[in-house]
């Protein structure tokens, strides 16, 4: 069964360092997302991406964050200068094209745990 | 904008007993509704979803949920809980009219199962 894969599964970094989290969405999906879950808290929407541009972003997704689809398969989240409060589990997700097949379901990866020291 | 409330932060249930997790949403029309489960240190696994049709939906692992428009609710149920059901459960709502499928999640309900 196709799945969303994320790397790394866990990354530890120093405050102020740049971090790139990588995701390989399901191959025929066209919408891509990043969500964040701070330990013990709810899953929060960060950004959605479609047709090589951001379609929606939350207040959390400030200038320190960026997303990119550098090739036909990867979808990345970059945090330019990490802060302690960026420590969280980051989930990538993808969904099918809109249309009759679209049921609104997001397929999530296993997550990348980021620890900022 | 849509929102989701899960009133119960923690629920403890005995193995073999029934379980019901509450979810209330706020949205102007009929939303897409989802329940996800997250085991400790794991990702999000879809249990079930509602997008149209029969308001009682069946999911994996013996779970079911019922969409009640009049109550803006989508409660999750399981008749007999197994120890492996101990996890955190998230209700989520999506907006069919919006471009893309952004989901808004509730705060989650942590389920503990007693032997």
Q: What is the pLDDT of residue A63?
A: 94
Q: What is the mean pLDDT of residues A3-8?
A: 94
Q: What is the pLDDT of residue B34?
A: 94
- Flag if A110 and B43 touch (Cβ within 8 Å): yes
Percent of all residues in chain A with a pLDDT value above 90, rounded to a whole number: 71
Cis peptide bond N-terminal to A8, omega within 30? yes
Residue A91 has its nearest CB partner, among B34, B43, B102, at: B43
Identify the band that residue A103 occupies on the pLDDT scale cut at 50, 70 and 90: low
Q: What is the pLDDT of residue A64?
A: 95
Q: What is the pLDDT of residue A41?
A: 87
Identify the band that residue B52 occupies on the pLDDT scale cut at 50, 70 and 90: confident
pLDDT at B41 exceeding the cut of 70: yes
The average confidence (pLDDT) of chain A is: 90
Distance CA A24, CA B72 (A): 35
Domains and CATH numbers, chain B: 3-114 (2.60.40.10)
Q: What is the mean pLDDT of residues B27-52?
A: 88
Domain ranges (residues) in chain A: 5-96+107-116
Identify the band that residue A20 occupies on the pLDDT scale cut at 50, 70 and 90: very high
Q: What is the pLDDT of residue B76?
A: 98
Tens of pLDDT, residues B60-80: 999 999 999 999 999 999 999
pLDDT at B99 exceeding the cut of 80: no
- Flag if A102 and B102 touch (Cβ within 8 Å): no
* Best residue in A55, A104, A111, A113 for a mutation probing chain B (most B CBs within 10 Å): A104
- Flag if B102 and A104 touch (Cβ within 8 Å): no
Q: Taking a C-beta distance cutoff of 8 angstroms, is the pair A91, A36 a contact?
A: yes
DSSP assignment of chain A: ----EEE-SEEEE-TT--EEEEEE--TT--EEEEEEE-TTS-EEEEEEEETTEEEEE-TT--TTEEEE--SSS-EEEEESS--GGG-EEEEEEEEPPSSTT-----EE---EEEEE-
* Best residue in B47, B101, B106, B110 for a mutation probing chain A (most A CBs within 10 Å): B101
CATH architecture of A5-96+107-116: Sandwich (2.60)
User: Taking CB atoms and an 8 Å cutoff, what residues of chain B touch A105?
Assistant: 32, 34, 46, 49, 101
């Amino acid at each position: 069964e196709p799945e969303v894969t994320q790397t790394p599964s866990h990354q530890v970094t120093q405050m102020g360092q740049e971090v790139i989290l990588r995701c390989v969405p399901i191959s025929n999906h066209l919408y891509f997302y990043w969500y964040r879950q701070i330990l013990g808290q709810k899953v929060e929407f960060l950004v959605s991406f479609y047709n090589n541009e951001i379609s929606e972003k939350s207040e959390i997704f400030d200038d320190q964050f960026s997303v990119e689809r550098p090739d036909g398969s990867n979808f990345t989240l970059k945090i330019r200068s990490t802060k302690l409060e960026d420590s969280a589990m980051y989930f990538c997700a993808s969904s099918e094209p809109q249309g009759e097949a679209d049921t609104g379901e997001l397929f999530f990866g296993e997550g990348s745990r980021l620890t900022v020291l | 904008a849509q929102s989701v409330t899960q009133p119960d932060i923690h629920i403890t249930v005995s193995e073999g007993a029934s379980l019901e997790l509450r979810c209330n949403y706020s949205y102007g029309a009929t939303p897409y509704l989802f329940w996800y489960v997250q085991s400790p240190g794991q990702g999000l696994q879809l249990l079930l979803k509602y997008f149209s049709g029969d308001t009682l939906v069946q999911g994996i692992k013996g779970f079911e949920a019922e969409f009640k428009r009049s109550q803006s609710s989508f409660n999750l149920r399981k008749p007999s809980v197994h120890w492996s059901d101990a996890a955190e459960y998230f209700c989520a709502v999506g907006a069919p009219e919006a471009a893309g499928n952004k989901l808004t999640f509730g705060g989650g309900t942590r389920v503990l199962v007693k032997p």
